[in-house]
Amino acid sequence: MASMDMKKRAVHQLCIGCVVLQTISNRVVKGGQVSQAITKPIIELISLVLQNGRGEAYIRGSIAALWQVASMKVVSTLWAIWGAASLVSALTSPTIHVEQGAVKGTTLLSAGGRPFHAFQGIPYGKAPVGKYRFKVQFIWIGLIPTFSRRKSGKPSNRDSNPNLPIIRCLVYYKNDALDRPAIKEPVPVKPWVGVWPAERPGSPCLQYMHTMHQEDEKIVGSEDCLYLNVYTSKLPGIGKPPLLDVIVYIHGGAFMFGWGHQYGPKYYMDRDVVYVTLNYRLGVLGFLSTEDEVVPGNNGLKDQVLALKWLQRNIAAFGGNPDSVTISGTSAGGASVHYHYLSPMSRGLFHRGMSFSGTALCPWTQAEGLRSKANLIAASLGCQTSLSREMVACLRKRPAEKIVALTKELMVWLYNPFSPFGPTVEVAGNTPFLINEPLSDALEIELKNLPWLTSLTTEEGLYPAAEFVNNKQHLQELNQRFVEIAPSLLDYNYTVPLEQQLQVTEEIRKKYFGDLPIGPDTVKQLVKLSSLLYNSGITINLKKTLGANELMIGDRLFNVDGELAAKFQARVSQAPVYFYLFSYRGKHSLSEVMSGSTDNFGVSHADDTAYTSDVFYSNTEETEQDRAMSKLLLDLFTSFAKTGVPQVPGDKDVTWEPVTGNAENITYLHIPDSTNLEMRSNEDLSNKDFWLSLPINEPHKSFKEARAHSIDEL
């Protein structure tokens, strides 16, 4: 670790040295000649900086030592060095201007040692605290009708200029499906005074974490959390260089946990793009709904819209092109991306999308019974539940941590169901995000004709199965309590009538396990077999070889609906849809964090994300194969972000063909490693027919016809 830090510091200081030398050359050299009296102290100074690991402060401090050189030209050189030091400060702590004021960032290094600029913890909306809890937040835009001077008196901590006027804005946004602007009441908005320090990320949104195993560690974050992070390889400069494509990453976490800066920029910053991550409200604070106009729901998704609007107005200041924005995400982030394709509120805010291992059709991406869940939490905190407005007013006065802690009361087994709160169709309200069910005829009209890229991994079900796949006690409990646990684990506890749940549960167990008990042998042997066969390139029947537990969970929660979503979108959209199946198992996996084991259980849900984002569960710099995979995926994703067509590198001799909506098979790019890519066409990426035959009432997917007919008849 120490050697790596020294290496990074050396590269960074080499850059500083080059900047100093270039600046001095521009300011001091005349007629192409520089005297030795001028160049010698400059070179010595740069050498000392590089040798001693010192930066701007050392340059400034060393100026005094150069005064012994008695020459007017050297005096000029000293001023040049001072100017260079100021330039170094500007480059290592860059400052740009957005609508709310100046923002000061920092300079970091990419995975390849390339300097880039980071602006972290920038607020994009009003903090949703106090009376603003459970409300749609405001973006700082709109009319500025009045100015008023501050009253005399002691300025606040952020008021360096007490004479600065207070700006009072009328905030507006599109509030209904017809795009009619709604003028909200005047909201006092005070742009920050001075420079906003954007060197560190903002707080995660308050949440009940999954990956924290100790109960007293599960509640993390703050309600004041609407911050985003912008990373750019190039800032606007002299000559107006071309603006860069923007890739926005929306974090996953089942709409319940996670935060933007978990997904670091160091891989994307080896490319000429602007990379953005963001926080949005989660769980009960982000997706509570009273199923009426009081709290219609989807505030977490509306936060994302707010961030996208902020980016449209400000991303050019970071060198980003507001007319070339690609939104992307994994799991709940991928589903969020898909929802933005379906929402009238997101119109015009992005131009391409990438949904990895998550779509709006996955059963866990739309919550049921939200009013009853709100009632349970309110009653537990001593609030009445009969009147929505009074109940919500009471909840706004309760400690947020206590509200979030009650999430565990909605989880039947371990962290399942893992999305008790999530997106919903809004039945009332002035600012709807989603007004029709996914796959409904009405949403076919709203569906944006924009290129879409989506994907699956071969062992999607390792989330959440990795939590218990290596735990004998958990497996035994699942085996014994399967009838009780399965409806929550597989997310049909609300969508199958109670009187039919036993029958459905027994059919599922028979399909995936037959007469075998659920245990270590059932899970491990089958999963290892599937990985061996899949990565060897042998043509196999997935439903017969994949690990029963992982395939059961993967089919229900990801695979069936991932395939259906791609084919549905390809059928109704005028823009191409691209699909890939990821079967590369690198050195590390999300399953290691979930299971506490380094055993190879297969290619987990979200494993592909580790090769483009600096995530907590992987280090792709450890092996040559992982580095090659990172380069490949970056090539694919950045080319898609530029043109809407993912370009497979020329040495692969593969053209990525889009999905054909009405074809019987689904066409996809298979990625088993970084070299052996191939196009495949498969009728079954999952046990689709089995799941569509079950009496699962999920109106948001409108599968009544799909259960009776094949996918091409949707």
What does pLDDT average to over the chain? 80
Asked if 291 is an active-site residue, the reply is: no
The residue out of 365, 397, 415 marking a domain boundary is 365
Give percent above pLDDT 70 in the chain: 72
pLDDT at 120 over 50: yes
pLDDT tens digits along 548-594: 666 899 999 999 999 999 999 999 999 999 999 999 999 999 999 89
What residues are paired with 669 via a beta bridge?
580, 679
pLDDT of residue 171: 35
Asked if 460 is an active-site residue, the reply is: yes
Same domain, 55 and 142: no
pLDDT at 698 over 80: yes
- The range of the structural domain enclosing residue 504 comes to 451-684+692-713
pLDDT of residue 450: 95
pLDDT at 446 over 80: no
Catalytic hit among 12, 117, 338, 605: 605
Same domain, 20 and 111: no
E strands, 142-218, where?
Answer: 143-148, 166-170, 172-174, 181-183, 187-189, 195-197, 207-208
- Cα–Cα distance for residue pair 517/513, rounded to 1 Å: 7
Catalytic hit among 110, 289, 324, 331: 331
Global pTM value: 0.80
Cα dihedral across residues 622, 623, 627, 633: positive or negative: negative
Same domain, 556 and 666: yes
- At CB < 8 A and 24+ separation, what contacts does 160-163 make? 160/193, 160/194, 161/193
Q: What is the dihedral of CA 323, 324, 330, 332, to 10 degrees?
A: 10
- Residue 668's CATH number: 3.40.50.1820
Same domain, 348 and 473: no
Q: Does 405 reside within a domain?
A: no
pLDDT tens digits along 95-109: 999 999 999 999 999
pLDDT of residue 215: 75
pLDDT classification of 7: cutoffs 50, 70, 90: very low
pLDDT classification of 712: cutoffs 50, 70, 90: very low
Residue found by looking up tokens 């979030």 in the block: 404
pLDDT of residue 561: 94
Asked if 331 is an active-site residue, the reply is: yes
The residue out of 365, 383, 407 marking a domain boundary is 365
Same domain, 101 and 82: no
Catalytic hit among 460, 467, 550, 698: 460
Q: How many domains does the chain have?
A: 3
pLDDT tens digits along 300-340: 999 999 999 999 999 999 999 999 999 999 999 999 999 99
pLDDT tens digits along 10-26: 444 444 444 444 444 44
